[in-house]
Each structure stands twice: as structure tokens, then as C-alpha cells.
Amino acid sequence: MTSIAPAPSTADAHKYSVLFVFAAGVLWSTVGLGIRLIEDAVVWQILLYRLISMSLFLYVLIRVRSGESPFVQIRRIGAPAIIAGLSLVAAYSGGIYAIQNTSVANAMLLFATAPFMAAVLGWIVLREPVRAATWIAIAVAIGGIGIMVADKSGGVALKGSLAALGSAFGFALFTVALRWGRTGEMLPAVFLSGLFAIVITSAICLGLGLSFVLSPSDGCIAMGMGVFQVGAGLILYTLGSRSLPAAELALLSLAEVLLGPLWVWLFLGETASVNTLIGGTVLLAAIAGNALSGKRRKPPPITAP
């Protein structure tokens, strides 16, 4: 008798999607290490070079993968691509402004409100139900992050805090836009966000009188971050979004909050506080618990366009 290999199950699709999104969080967590290695460039110069390399990387990848221009795909996808692209611009710029105007700890705590925003937006826009286990995991994750920043959150500026919330909202909206456009190819939306942000960042550099020329060392690090830290991370996140609800996407990406301090400790000797270690453990437990509980659910189907 001959046997027929079974088609990949929805459980397998969920498992790989969880791995993709978690891996994206790992890549994003290296941003602190990359910035620590840069000697002279300021944040807007770093962001500009990072966006240029990310956009070039995505353009080549999309052309090789699909055989057509990302601009053609953007026109075909329509509104979800535009909304996702503009949402990431808000996440990029809001995050930079927040870190400049408030403590990093406070900014990271406010960034972590993205899962709540994504859950509400996903319910309103997509009518996606949010599992009780996911709500519990989000609450545990936020509690863990609260422990991490409890000893670092003094002296907060109002504008920086509002910018951090705006960044979180931008990322949540990007998450929901990915779910909305899941039947199409959303990598062009990430490419489009890079183009939008390059224009904005270039204008800021001109307005502040910042040089567009960086040292070879700073330029290489910043452009490397665009390819490996941002570009590859967003690719994995985009691929994972096809089989996961919005709330789970945002929650799994919080791995960057846990791992960010770890990299600078391993490579640069920067130590983490007891609060960071305890809170990070709680956060990791929330991420793992939510991923394991997700095996019992049937992911939402992806219909052909």
C-alpha cells in the first residue's frame, strides 16, 4: 500500500509563525548593542542610514522573490500597504523622539502597551476575538516589564511619554494592517515605510544641520542594522503575521524587551539590575505560556485572493 504524506496542519502553521515572530523580536533586540557600538553619529543619522540599507535590501529581495517591482505590488495591495507603511513611520519616529525626551525605561514600558492597542484595534477593525489566555499573558507580560522599569522610571517628560504611546499605537496599527492584508504580499508595505521614513528623516537632518556623511565605522554599523536588525526582523514578523491574531503578534515581539539588556551585558559588560532580571523572567514566562497555549487553537484561515 502506498501512503500519502499529510498536508501541513494548522498546528504546524501556528508553530512556525510563533517561531518567526519570536525570531523577529530577537533581531530587534540587538538595536541597543548596535547603537552602543556607534561612536559619533546621532540618532537621526543612524536612522537615515539604517532606513536606506533596509529599503535597498527589501527592494532586491522582493524583486528576486516575486520577479516584479515592489511598487507594482503596492498598487495591487492598495490601502493595507499604505496604512501599514505609514504606521511604521509613526513607530520609527515616535520611538526615536521618545528615547530623546524621556528615560529609556519609561519609553520601553509605554512601547509595551502595543499588545493592548493591537487587541482593541483587531477587535474593532477585523472582529478578531482575543483568547482569554492571550489577555492573561499580556497582563503578565506588562507586569514583568513594570518590574523591569520600576527602579528606573523617574523624571519623565510628558512629550516623550506621549511620543512613546504614539509609537506603540503605530506598531499596533501596523500589526492590524498586516492581518487585514494577509491574503496579499505585505513586504512591499515595509519597503514603502522605509521610503516614507527616509524622506522625513532627511528633512530632519537638513533642518538640524546634520551631516549626511558618517565615518566608515558608524556608516557600516548603521547600514548593517538596517539589513539584519530591521529588515530581516520585519520580514520574519510579516511572514509570521499570516497565521497569528494581532494580539499574539505584538506579544511575541516583546522578546526584544527581555533580550535587549542581555546582549549589551554579554558583549559590552553592561550589567542588568535585579528588577530587570526578575521582570525579564516573568516576561519570558508570559511569551512561552502564550505560545504553548496557542497550540490548542485553530488559527484563522487564510483565503486565496
Inter-axis angle of helices 158-180 and 114-126, nearest 10: 40
| Model confidence pTM above 0.85 | no
At 151 the pLDDT is: 63
Sign of the torsion angle spanned by Cα atoms 119, 122, 124, 128: negative
At 56 the pLDDT is: 93
Taking residues 203-227, report their average pLDDT: 91
More confident residue, 270 or 176: 176
Inter-axis angle of helices 79-101 and 43-66, nearest 10: 160
pLDDT band of 299, cuts 50, 70, 90: very low
Q: Which amino acid, residue 76?
A: R
75-79, 118-122, 157-161, 195-199, range with greatest mean pLDDT: 195-199
**Cell reading at 150:** 520600576
Tell me the per-residue pLDDT of 64-86, one tens digit each, with 9 for 90 and over. 888 888 898 888 878 888 888 88
At 158 the pLDDT is: 66
Which residues, in sequence order, are CB contacts of 221 under 8 Å at separation 6+? 34, 37, 38
